[in-house]
């Protein structure tokens, strides 16, 4: 039996920090050298605008995530500067970059200087999940207490008590929600579809042993009712506007036209509000949840299990048309793909077996390389020769240059892997310290590059 998770206040602080970053759409750079923590960004005037250090930090954060061509998105994340001010700042940076490039003052960035995502061990992820479950359980108990205080004992609606309270409670406190929504179908859809995945964390029967069936809060029903009423009002208003516009334009040649709303007016209003977009949501949920769909559900006493519907049969049953451009693109890719025999023949014509092997042995970088790495370098050289847009190298010197470049790139990748492993070690160590727990196995610090 799984132990009850323990609440960690430090994890709650980390969660609140991430929520603030998501709300502000800015993740500040946390790990800096001690000499860079103060005085790195100063207040400066660019054109007629004054940029503060906080604005610059949000600007560079958005610039790194969105790119220099998304001035509107950068301005939205900076929040206090307009698009023209952002473009002026970007132009200033591009001008300074061009000047430094002309003066040969720019050094190329190595692969290790690009920050990579930190990788945590499975044990650390499970410990973080336990801390998250503890916060979720604590928050759930608090919300349940608030709901029970507001709505009483019938604050949670399920299939078991829906018939008992539908005639009284829902009509008074949920604004007659049962007259708008079919709650029996809602709960059945959650029970058999959305909460019926094969995975343990996505199946309501596996999570609580089938004791508590899927339910919905009264407050949630009130929110859905308010949302439905709001959308209906907007749709009616837009429909009246579309109808009035159509009548004004048609009365010039039909003076005796009757004032009536037509179906095309409603469709035009729905399109203007963005409510007419249809997507195959059911098939997407089937793929995401890993469900098995049957035309006729198998019975428990049947010896032979019936076959579930395939994705194509399901889309055909739901009258969902496949996009023809996807199949056209796949056929084009299959027609232009090279077979393994063609690949080996082209590579052999440019890099001969004996010649290329001799070239590899002639090149020495930090000592001799083993046979496995030698084969990987050879395969990468073959791919570069075959799939390159330029003519393949014909001379021995050109082939040696290609092999040297590949070996240098692989050395840079190994160096970057060591730097990333060191960053992952520091981050996982910080996570264990935050959780006040010891890892099940001692952590091994990678050797510095």
pLDDT at 392: 66
What pLDDT was estimated at residue 30?
56
The confidence score (pLDDT) of residue 136 equals 92
H/E element holding 157?
A: strand 156-158
Ranges of the chain with pLDDT below 70: 1-3, 28-39, 166-179, 208-210, 276-281, 300-305, 319-370, 387-394
Using CA atoms, how far residue 243 sits from 233, 251, 260, 273, 274, in Å, is 15, 12, 8, 15, 18
pLDDT recorded at residue 338: 41
Helix or strand run (H / E) with residue 149: helix 122-151
DSSP H/E element including 46 = strand 44-46
Confidence (pLDDT) at 1? 44
pTM, full prediction = 0.63
pLDDT tens, residue by residue, 73-82? 899 889 899 9
| Distance in angstroms (rounded) separating the CA atoms of residues 256 and 124 | 76
């Amino acid at each position: 039996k799984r132990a009850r998770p323990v609440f960690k206040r430090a994890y709650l602080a980390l969660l609140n920090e991430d929520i603030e970053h998501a709300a502000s759409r800015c993740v500040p750079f946390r790990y800096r050298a001690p000499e860079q923590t103060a005085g790195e960004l100063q207040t400066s005037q660019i054109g007629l605008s004054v940029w503060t250090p906080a604005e610059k930090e949000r600007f560079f954060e958005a610039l790194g995530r969105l790119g220099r061509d998304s001035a509107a998105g950068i301005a939205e994340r900076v929040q206090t500067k307009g698009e023209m001010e952002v473009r002026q700042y970007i132009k200033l940076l591009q001008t300074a970059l061009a000047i430094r490039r002309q003066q040969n003052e720019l050094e190329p960035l190595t692969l290790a200087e690009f920050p990579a995502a930190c990788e945590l061990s499975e044990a650390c992820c499970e410990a973080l999940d336990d801390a998250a479950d503890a916060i979720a359980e604590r928050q759930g108990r608090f919300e349940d207490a608030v709901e029970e205080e507001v709505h009483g004992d019938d604050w949670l609606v399920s299939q078991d008590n829906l018939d008992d309270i539908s005639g009284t409670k829902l009509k008074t406190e949920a604004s007659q929600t049962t007259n708008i929504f079919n709650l029996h179908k809602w709960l059945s859809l959650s029970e058999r579809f959305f909460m019926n995945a094969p995975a343990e964390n996505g199946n309501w029967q596996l999570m609580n042993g089938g004791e508590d069936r899927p339910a919905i809060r009264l407050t949630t029903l009130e929110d859905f009712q308010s949302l439905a009423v709001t959308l209906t009002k907007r749709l009616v208003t837009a429909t009246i506007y579309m109808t009035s516009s159509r009548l004004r334009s048609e009365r010039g040649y039909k003076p005796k036209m009757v004032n009536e709303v037509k179906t095309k007016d409603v469709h035009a209003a729905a399109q203007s509000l963005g409510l007419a977009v249809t997507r195959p949501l059911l098939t997407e949920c089937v793929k995401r949840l890993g469900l098995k769909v049957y035309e006729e559900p198998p019975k428990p006493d049947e010896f032979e299990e019936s076959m579930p519907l395939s994705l194509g049969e399901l889309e055909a049953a739901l009258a969902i048309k496949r996009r023809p451009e996807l199949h056209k693109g796949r056929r084009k890719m299959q027609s232009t793909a090279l077979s393994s025999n063609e690949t080996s023949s082209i590579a052999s014509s440019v890099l001969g077996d004996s010649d290329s092997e001799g070239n590899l042995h002639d090149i020495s970088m930090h000592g001799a390389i083993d046979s496995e790495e030698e084969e990987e370098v050879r395969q990468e050289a073959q791919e570069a020769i075959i799939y390159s847009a330029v003519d393949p190298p014909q001379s021995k010197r050109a082939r040696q240059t290609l092999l040297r470049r590949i070996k240098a790139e692989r050395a840079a990748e190994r160096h970057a892997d060591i730097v990333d492993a060191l960053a992952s070690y520091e981050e996982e160590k910080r996570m264990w310290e935050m959780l006040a727990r010891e890892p099940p196995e001692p952590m091994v610090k990678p050797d510095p590059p």
